[in-house]
Structure 1
């Protein structure tokens, strides 16, 4: 298949669904992804959102590793200012031991939540200093390596620190972002890079141009490595795809309109609310123009053209198809259907 398909999963939670049911839906989806030949499957990190159960990428990746055989698994991404670099290095070194050669560590700089939750997450002293983000990325690379890192005290004494006692391999580290800053940092450090196109409104072309033009080869990557992300809904008919788009689009409109958040509506709930509440219409129209929504063949063609336009061989899809009232709460038929349509 050209381009290759990867998946970004936020583990969406819909009305009437428990976190356990949402997680079960995603784990069934990752099993399908493994069978279909998806290149990689990443879990996002978001906090205190009623519609998102993906709070801990390493936990979800570990569960996914036990259910898969070939797909690469990881984070899209770990929001580094929320965590100690040593803890991140240890978690992903453990994942690498669990699924050797299949682990990706995507690292981001954003908090992944609101200011109150950010303060709760960052009660960890200087490790939460956003200005030290480049330093902490380097710390993770060193700590997760087989040789580890060395702490040097004022006295001159050295202390060796290893994320795991006998690493046999490294997770593949990717830098994620939605700004010029992240593109330039990835280029300067010679790291693979992904622009969060599924979330950001503008800036994809500029970010890729900056990354490619400023890239400095490193031991990790000899040349620029990147792919693109996109929100995707593919159904047997364009009409069904449009219906399944509305719940997630309304959630995004509420987020960007700074309105109270709630679990994802069902298709029927979203359609009924839209007839009474038109606040979201302009935002939804803007989102719709950037998303890939339609019948399977049309979406496949558009994704191929999108990848060719930006010179990449991989597209990471965020499967944003909503659910109908009658569909089971422990499954995600719309998301399953989208993935199957992309590989049909």
Structure 2
């Protein structure tokens, strides 16, 4: 058995021993003080109530002193044993918690710790189990995503290398169709790199603070944020309807602009239909509501529940042409919640409305 394993076993025992010794000292002090008080009180009462000779008085005091010593030692021993047993039982979940924490430190994800306590220790263990499960799920999804991205990188790179090698050797000559194919492959690589950037952005988001909030007129802000998408909309022949009201909200402009970009980019990327994409900004009594409505494939109930989770991708987004990292909406959710707002999706058939609300203060 390794030294670290021995340490993980003996550290709780040493703590339990120290805690037991401290409590024994407290018990002994309390019992001795109580015995001394009882002894003196009994001697005073006996002396005042009964007329005894000096010899009998000494015998009474000696017998009382002896019994008090016996009862005191018995109380200390019994109390210490009961205390040690109860503390050992209480410390058992903490011992498992330490062992599981060490396994997580080594990159392993332990099984959930079984605990029966309903107090603070039970609550701590339950939170630890939830944390371990979430970390294990995130790690599994991250590995799957990296594996998917690696596989998707390989195909366009292979195609590009093949075409360029053939051009270099003179086996084929360049024409418009070939250049379009090369451009398509390079576009796929660009999208994959953007997805990898989102992974890095998610890691930065966890430690980011939104201290740069300023009062902003949402009408001007939204119109400016969506201006960059006009070219993409024209290329795909998609109309854009804008209905935005003025409203002053304290926001971090960079992050909220990112949320708008994520929602509108998704609406364009997964667009299927002939109607316009609609961007609305509504001034409500206590909050400002922004929504992006567009046509796309039907979303299942599971998709609606998990679409804002990290690394979750709906079925259409798993394809190489439309593939996303599964982080755009998760990052958007994190940003909105950091602004003390809410975000969600509503669907009627293949018409989907992604919305978020921001409080005025």
TM-score between the two structures when normalised by the length of structure 1: 0.20
Higher strand share: 1
Greater relative contact order structure (CA < 8 Å, 6+ sep): 1
Higher helix share: 2
TM-score between the two structures when normalised by the length of structure 2: 0.20
